[in-house]
A and B are shown apart, each in its own frame.
Chain A
Amino acid sequence: MRITKQPLKGKNLVILSPLIVVIIVLFLIPWLGLGEYLITFLILYFIFLTMTEMWNFLAGYCGFFSLGQGAFVGLAGYMLGVLTDFGWSPYIAILISGVIATIFAAVVSKPLFRIKGVYFAVGTLALTEMVRIFFTSWRPSWASPVTWGGAGIPIKATAYISRVEVYYLALILALLSIFSLKIVLNSKLGLNVMAICDDESTALSCGIPTYRYKLYAFILYAFFVGLAGATFYLYQGYIEPTGGFGVSWTLIPLMATIIGGLRSIDGPIAGALIVTILYLQLVRYLGLSLILQGIIVLIFVFVAPKGLKSIFEIIRKHFYLRSSRLLT
């Protein structure tokens, strides 16, 4: 896959201008009085979008099919809860939560990078389970207000931070993640990472320090997922181990990616939108919700493994391609 750098000329400005308008509108939405529901919807959308973009970056461009999103989300959420409990400003706490997720990623990269492909996928899942058990069982007497074992902890900052502030946080986060991915994929880091994904031993023999670049990519992923997780828990106001480190954190970006298509930056924008709508519609059905999400993933896997793109292909095949097939 090649991504060519395009200088910002007049023609590109024409393409970019609708984008700029959309961003301005998104910044103005809280002041248009369109209702709480839209704000809530968009907060969730931006958080899911960030996670999907990052997951897609890791799975599509770096070849690391991570099933352990929950570990980073949960760690960041817990860190946010603990820091705001100590009276820190939630903004600084979110940033530190992201940093903690990053440090965690750097620590676990040593065993995780030894394994590849499907081993990596299950390895990250095992890691998430490990962290979940840690937070469920860890209940020392000296830190009882910090972790209440399986019962979880309330996040106090939610009480004094407004919905609009969380909205702006999520919006900025989503924009940052998309733009940083656009920049990264055009940079040396992105090209090296893609080379490693395509063929690691060839990349290594070309003189690319593979471990270091994989680590950079993993760190970028962990940082943004950590930030998104912390923002989500700032919105939610409560974290407990089963939800915080749950497999649903993997299922959401996975579903959005399979709907939007793997290895693309624009795909997740559509995928995350559909997933957020589904999430909010299904949220009242609890157990059934996850069953339905699983069934949707299965349907896409079997009918349209390239996501919406292959649905368009199917439609095109039925309506347009019939005539062209007669010609060939």
Chain B
Amino acid sequence: MGYEEVLIILLTELAEALLYGCLLGGAYAVIGIGMSLILGVMDVMNIAHGEFILLGSYLAYSLLTTFGIDPLLSLVILAPTFFVLGFLLQRFGLSKPLKYSVDIFVMATLAISTILENLYLLIWSPLQKALVTNYMLWSLKLGEFSVAFVFVLDFFISIAVLVFLREFLRKTYLGMAIRASSEDWRMAQLMGINTDNVRALTFGLGLLTAGIAGVLIGLTYPFSPSIGKAYLVIAFGVVVLGGLGSMLGTFVGGVILGLVQVLTAVFFDPAWQLFASYLVIFVLLALRPKGVLGR
């Protein structure tokens, strides 16, 4: 092979990796956005976020295998279910530890995450599961490359979720109440906003995005009960890299992690892809603690 041919192959691989990285980054942004919302309004992180994402994957899996409902269709059922679950969980459960202290809240969500992970082990076995659909192996031709359809699907649904959330937070009364509470919840309370409900609403929205992310990631990669922690770390990375309170930042954070992961998988070793993205989180944390876009 001549020098030029090798270069062309390398460049094609690089372009493909960059494309896949960006597409995956969209899905990662949805993993992170729920955590970012909860963090912005309540100043806490939900340690069980990864397990809730996994719950989305597993529920979609069960709906697919027992009732034959397509994962994309199951989004219509799962998204409201997750919202109601999150709302009730925060309103009648986690609001008490949150009032007590942040540490206690973290303890509570860590306990929930451990309980959920081991419940998944009991219910769905430790074996890897995947959402098998007939469009799983489709690919789209984009000029020279062909792109897996699920990645494109992930990307566009993610963009839709991000844009929807952004508009919801900007335009609606509830969205404005959420933003007001994230700026100063005491003042928001004085303005007549029921902050307890706003928090529950935010937690519900966070879980809603977790459910959507679970279905999307479940369509893309196989999943097993222990992978929830990896989702949590990715969500943390997206929040840390993107900074708080901006959809664009979240998106950029997701894309950085997606790119690092795909580039490592293509050019180094797939076994190290998660390690590389974690390493990037810590290196960027040391260099730019306020996020890549932050000042």
Binding site for B on A (CB under 8 A): 59, 65, 67, 108, 110-111, 114-115, 117-119, 121-123, 125-127, 129-130, 133-134, 137, 242, 247, 250-251, 254, 258, 262, 287-288, 290-291, 293-295, 297-298, 301-302, 305
Q: Are the C-beta atoms of A251 and B275 separated by less than 8 Å?
A: no
Q: How many A-B residue pairs have CB under 8 A?
A: 129
Whole-angstrom CA separation of A108 from B286 in the bound complex: 9
Binding site for A on B (CB under 8 A): 39, 43-45, 47, 96-97, 100-104, 106-108, 110-115, 117-119, 121-122, 226, 229-230, 232-233, 236-237, 240, 269, 271-272, 274-275, 278-279, 281-283, 285-286, 289
Measured CB to CB, the closest approach of chain A to B106, in angstroms, equals 5
7 A-B contacts (beta carbon < 8 Å): A65-B106, A114-B289, A118-B106, A130-B233, A254-B107, A262-B103, A305-B104
> Which of B102, B108, B269 is within 8 Å of A298, CB to CB?
B108
Whole-angstrom CA separation of A288 from B122 in the bound complex: 8
Whole-angstrom CA separation of A290 from B39 in the bound complex: 27
Q: Are the C-beta atoms of A110 and B236 separated by less than 8 Å?
A: no
Residues of B within 8 A of A287 (CB): 118, 121-122
> Which of A59, A119, A294 is within 8 Å of B240, CB to CB?
A119
Measured CB to CB, the closest approach of chain B to A229, in angstroms, equals 19
Residues of A within 8 A of B113 (CB): 247
Nearest CB to that of A242 among chain B residues? Answer: B226
Whole-angstrom CA separation of A69 from B131 in the bound complex: 34
Q: Are the C-beta atoms of B114 and A293 separated by less than 8 Å?
A: yes
Main secondary structure of the interface of B (DSSP, over half): helix
Q: Are the C-beta atoms of B282 and A127 separated by less than 8 Å?
A: yes
Whole-angstrom CA separation of A262 from B100 in the bound complex: 13
Measured CB to CB, the closest approach of chain B to A224, in angstroms, equals 21
Q: Are the C-beta atoms of A305 and B114 separated by less than 8 Å?
A: no
Residues of B within 8 A of A133 (CB): 272, 274-275, 278
- Assuming the contacts A133-B275, A287-B118, A305-B104, asked whether A247 and B282 have C-beta atoms less than 8 A apart, the reply is no
New A-B pairs, 6, CB < 8 Å, besides A114-B286, A126-B281, A247-B114: A121-B47, A130-B279, A133-B272, A133-B274, A242-B226, A297-B108
Q: Are the C-beta atoms of A126 and B278 separated by less than 8 Å?
A: yes
Q: Are the C-beta atoms of B114 and A258 separated by less than 8 Å?
A: no
Q: Are the C-beta atoms of A115 and B97 separated by less than 8 Å?
A: no
Q: Are the C-beta atoms of A137 and B233 separated by less than 8 Å?
A: no
Whole-angstrom CA separation of A134 from B103 in the bound complex: 29
Whole-angstrom CA separation of A291 from B117 in the bound complex: 9
- Assuming the contacts A137-B272, A291-B119, A294-B115, asked whether A123 and B285 have C-beta atoms less than 8 A apart, the reply is yes
Q: Are the C-beta atoms of A302 and B96 separated by less than 8 Å?
A: yes
Q: Are the C-beta atoms of B118 and A290 separated by less than 8 Å?
A: yes
Whole-angstrom CA separation of A294 from B108 in the bound complex: 8
Nearest CB to that of A300 among chain B residues? Answer: B107
Q: Are the C-beta atoms of B236 and A123 separated by less than 8 Å?
A: yes
Whole-angstrom CA separation of A144 from B43 in the bound complex: 45
Residue of B44, B107, B112, B229 ringed by the most chain A CB atoms within 10 A: B107
Nearest CB to that of A126 among chain B residues? Answer: B233
Measured CB to CB, the closest approach of chain A to B51, in angstroms, equals 11
- Assuming the contacts A111-B285, A122-B232, A123-B285, asked whether A291 and B240 have C-beta atoms less than 8 A apart, the reply is no
Whole-angstrom CA separation of A129 from B45 in the bound complex: 17
Residues of A within 8 A of B269 (CB): 137
> Which of B106, B118, B226, B285 is within 8 Å of A114, CB to CB?
B285
Q: Are the C-beta atoms of B45 and A121 separated by less than 8 Å?
A: yes
Residues of B within 8 A of A111 (CB): 282-283, 285-286
Measured CB to CB, the closest approach of chain A to B294, in angstroms, equals 12
Residue of B103, B121, B226, B282 ringed by the most chain A CB atoms within 10 A: B103
- Assuming the contacts A121-B106, A291-B114, A297-B107, asked whether A305 and B285 have C-beta atoms less than 8 A apart, the reply is no
> Which of A126, A242, A291 is within 8 Å of B236, CB to CB?
A126
Whole-angstrom CA separation of A295 from B114 in the bound complex: 9
Residues of B within 8 A of A115 (CB): 240, 285, 289
Q: Are the C-beta atoms of A130 and B282 separated by less than 8 Å?
A: yes
Residues of B within 8 A of A291 (CB): 114-115, 118-119, 122
Measured CB to CB, the closest approach of chain B to A71, in angstroms, equals 12
Q: Are the C-beta atoms of B289 and A126 separated by less than 8 Å?
A: no
Q: Are the C-beta atoms of A125 and B115 separated by less than 8 Å?
A: no
> Which of A117, A121, A247, A288 is within 8 Å of B229, CB to CB?
A247
Whole-angstrom CA separation of A27 from B115 in the bound complex: 38
> Which of B100, B119, B271 is within 8 Å of A137, CB to CB?
B271
